[in-house]
Structure 1
């Protein structure tokens, strides 16, 4: 961590205290920590998962019990609490390929299933729970979560949503910002490929990814500012801390944000897939894109890329693979599905070099069949009608049994 000016509290620690901000803007200023060195194209994956009971398949507040049991098994990565007590987050250690990701996620999944069975609950993927009522949720007893609950009110309980985050290693800080802005053109790809949140509070939202609508409500969500040098980004961060609105990078809920402590950028728009296999495949797609950017510099990002950013993002959330994609460079309108397939063809050499051919092949097959997890959930609901049965089958799918 930086040894620069100390904020009123360390927002990244568990020792979070309600303390008034200094009235002098200069005394509120926090310097951004240095961008640490990491291996270019290394990967890390985080998955937020649902804990449900096996009676009616509603969310169940078993995070503390699950964490206690999981701590007894040596595993890669980590298992930690999340905002509410019916969810947990699992993460990998540093990986070098999509195959590494699945190699690490598989034993974590097996341990989750084994311990969930002991508790008579189930673990489920998906970006939202299909019928839970937000007002019934309990905030997990952790200082930072309590502070966020006080700040954001009911939004904190509504934030019982479940996403996948993918970290990609960058060779240096300036390269990280260029990577971030290049990746921003492909945010609609990530949303449509991972979309798994069509149902909210018992209703079909008509969105493939309704989860991201909950993120929009937060004041520092959306896209990162267009800065292309770390010096420029540091100045932006210091200006933001001087206002008293921001105290650390964790206060930004951007779709992609730099993680200087890891030497990565973190892509945050994915819904949690229904299977860890798809989560690993999505990580392989990100890694292949990153290799293309680093090795070929296929285009120079610009502020104008963001003219259609929100529109493209909405299209992908609402329509998934049936969305329209507007090319930021040319203004051309085309089916998002076609743009994904075209991009995958461009990435073939890079995916082969990264041992990600199978991962991209699985994603390509699903795009060609116009199938993502949102489609799977809707098809199950069409057959079963009862959303509890849809959640039960999603739990079986997470286990690899459906």
Structure 2
């Protein structure tokens, strides 16, 4: 075991931060547009009290909108709405639309341009074909944790809720013009990168530090941000960062998922405070749940405890939403949490995309996947 220490800058309150990746779409072709640099150049010149909230990503077709440190979901929404408006002031005149989903229905991965950046160049040199395939988008939610000793217990138990979050947010059924048969193809693809995928379930922070030390010593990572787990500690920010969700098409759904994550972390924290031992599941159950949720979405039968009991993910979700209601009121996100229950009723994004495709085909549309892009662009615009 190494002796590297990883300082966790604990957050006094359960603060929130969101990173929302979105893709630029050409208004005419509906394909992705590699024009992020152009957009960023102009957006950056617009003064804002809080500085740059829109950043570059690996691919030149991608923008990432990042919030400041917030306390509530309504604050997050206000922050994102403001940033989005400043982006649209630039993209609208350029003939560009914004879209967010786990994947673009028909864009070709092999035609994408990479953002000039040493770190990205190195990533692609190393990961080759798989790295170039990363034409995928996600949403990352940070929740502040007030003690380093709580981070791993909360993280390990959050893994029990992996399938709920994946199923609710799944928005990547199509890839390169094909229906993959998965609700979230993104989940399967992203884990091909080294250090991506499910986190290890460490019992103590010292064990985590030992892992980090080993990764540095053996040259697997150059910085802590190279650990690309689906849920990870973010020591610099003093948060747990939940990276499970596929790109979320609308602010309404993003608010709902953020509320669900915020409530879960605060609920688990309270149970730790009360001296409770949080339930976990063996890694093989967690892994199976990830696969089931990414394949079957809201129709997944998931494993809900270490004893191997199974339930339909939506049944288990309903029970959790009831349990979290008081927490949501305390965190000022009761309305947003209530929207989570509506997602299965109205269809998750992967279901809506397939319905749009089927309807377009039934009309005899020559390019039904373009209709899918149109529907995603419209959802983003309507919020």
Same fold, judged at TM 0.5 (above): yes
**Residue of structure 1 in register with 2:32 after alignment:** 59
Matches within 5 A, 1:58-207: 58-75=31-48, 76=50, 78-207=53-182
> Is it true that 1:274 corresponds to 2:234 in the alignment?
no
Structure 1 residues without counterparts, runs of 5 or longer: 1-25
Computed over aligned residues only, the root mean square deviation of the Cα atoms, in angstroms, reads 1.9
CA contact (8 A) 1:159 1:214 kept: yes
**1: distance between equivalents of 2:54 and 2:143?**
20
Displacement after TM superposition at 1:30 (Å): 8.2
- TM-score where L is the length of structure 1: 0.88
**Residue of structure 1 in register with 2:364 after alignment:** none
> Is it true that 1:366 corresponds to 2:313 in the alignment?
no
CA contact (8 A) 1:112 1:123 kept: no
> Is it true that 1:390 corresponds to 2:365 in the alignment?
no
Provide the secondary structure at the position in 2 that maps to 1:331.
coil
**Residue of structure 1 in register with 2:365 after alignment:** none
Provide the secondary structure at the position in 1 that maps to 2:321.
helix
Farther off after superposition, 381-390 or 267-276: 381-390
Matches within 5 A, 1:266-305: 266-297=241-272, 300-301=277-278, 304-305=281-282
**2: distance between equivalents of 1:286 and 1:94?**
16
- TM-score where L is the length of structure 2: 0.93
- Structure 1 residues 74 and 195 mapped into 2: Cα distance closer, same or farther (>3 Å)? farther
- Show CA shifts across 1:278-303 (max 9, x none): 11221111111111101124963577
**1: distance between equivalents of 2:282 and 2:13?**
25
**Residue of structure 1 in register with 2:10 after alignment:** 37
- Structure 1 residues 30 and 57 mapped into 2: Cα distance closer, same or farther (>3 Å)? farther
Farther off after superposition, 110-119 or 278-287: 110-119
CA contact (8 A) 1:61 1:86 kept: yes
**1: distance between equivalents of 2:3 and 2:62?**
32
Farther off after superposition, 379-388 or 266-275: 379-388
- Show CA shifts across 1:139-195 (max 9, x none): 111111111111111222211210000111001111111111111110111101111
**2: distance between equivalents of 1:66 and 1:258?**
31
**1: distance between equivalents of 2:47 and 2:98?**
19
**Residue of structure 1 in register with 2:381 after alignment:** 399
Tell me which of 355, 372, 376 is aligned to 2:332.
355
**Residue of structure 1 in register with 2:283 after alignment:** 306
- Show CA shifts across 1:314-357 (max 9, x none): 11111111101111233111100111111111111111111111
Number of equivalenced pairs: 373
CA contact (8 A) 1:306 1:328 kept: no
Structure 2 residues without counterparts, runs of 5 or longer: 362-367
